[in-house]
């Protein structure tokens, strides 16, 4: 089994302390900044693939309810937030083969804590945020990605408030929605001037969760159209921008960069 001795990047990094996008992330292969032991690990299939859409390079990862389970992770039990995928990976070294991939999962304050609805292992740590305000989070409608067992959903925050009575096993709120009932968010331009490394999640008609992270700056419009036109997801939610990061153990990819908040972990079922 490969073991990860993770290096934490030094520097004056600013957290996503407003409901806006954070600072840039450094894309890296684990082998470029991580010491490994010499034990050979068995070949593992990645749930992620590289694609190009409208001339922008993306990484597309699929969580299948038949093969995977999803959870949220903020930090060690009764500890401070992880703030990075590197810290998450270090804390789960012995369980690494179970992890299919992990991504940042919503917007957060200066301490790395969620600014919107957040549930981890059935424990609601933050209530639904329906307030008005600045930044992408408050570009209504925003939404909630949540689920229990093998059923995963994305709903607008108002829909979630009105129609979801039972607390899910996991949930995270972010914004804006990218696709709503098969239509693009009404405030998203076709190809607006704001370009950034961005990521999001969408659910298709078969209940699979599609996670997408750009490997080059792109607009909201391009990201939203990829979910609608290529992945055919009726609903898709923006997770964050600039700080967006991916851990894909099968491909030895571990993105380092600005401090993160909530994380979404996709595990292989045993």
pLDDT greater than 70 at residue 1: no
pLDDT attached to residue 77: 81
Distance separating alpha carbons of residues 246 and 81, to the nearest angstrom: 17
pLDDT attached to residue 43: 58
pLDDT attached to residue 94: 63
pLDDT greater than 60 at residue 63: yes
Q: What percent of the chain has pLDDT over 70?
A: 83
pLDDT greater than 60 at residue 142: yes
- Paired with 237 in beta bridges are 177, 201
pLDDT greater than 60 at residue 33: no
pLDDT attached to residue 159: 98
Q: CB neighbours (10 Å) of residue 192?
A: 12
pLDDT greater than 50 at residue 109: yes
Average pLDDT in the chain:
86
Query: Nearest CA to 145 among 185, 101, 105?
Result: 105
Q: pLDDT grade, residue 96 (50/70/90)?
A: low
């Amino acid at each position: 089994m490969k073991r990860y001795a993770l290096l934490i990047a030094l520097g004056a990094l600013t957290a996503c302390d407003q409901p806006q996008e954070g600072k840039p992330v450094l894309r890296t292969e684990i082998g470029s900044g991580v010491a490994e032991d010499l034990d050979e690990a068995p070949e593992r299939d990645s749930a992620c693939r590289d694609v190009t859409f409208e001339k922008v390079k993306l990484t597309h990862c699929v969580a299948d309810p038949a093969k995977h389970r999803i959870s949220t992770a903020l930090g060690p039990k009764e500890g401070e937030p992880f703030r990075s995928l590197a810290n998450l990976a270090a804390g789960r070294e012995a369980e690494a083969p179970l992890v299919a991939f992990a991504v940042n999962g919503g917007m957060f304050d200066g301490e790395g804590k969620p600014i919107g609805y957040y549930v981890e292992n059935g424990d609601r740590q933050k209530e639904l945020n329906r307030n008005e305000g600045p930044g992408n989070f408050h570009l209504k409608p925003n939404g909630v990605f949540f689920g229990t067992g093998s059923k995963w959903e994305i709903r607008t925050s108002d829909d979630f408030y009105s129609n979801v009575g039972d607390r899910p096993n996991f949930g995270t709120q972010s914004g804006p929605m990218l696709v709503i009932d098969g239509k693009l968010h009404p405030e998203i331009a076709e190809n607006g001037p704001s370009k950034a490394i961005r990521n999001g999640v969408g659910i298709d008609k078969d209940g699979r969760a599609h996670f997408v992270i750009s490997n080059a700056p792109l607009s909201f419009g391009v990201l939203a159209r990829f979910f609608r036109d290529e992945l055919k997801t009726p609903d898709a939610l923006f997770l964050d921008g600039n700080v967006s990061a991916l851990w894909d153990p099968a491909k030895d990819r571990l993105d380092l960069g600005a401090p993160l908040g909530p994380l979404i972990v996709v595990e292989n079922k045993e």
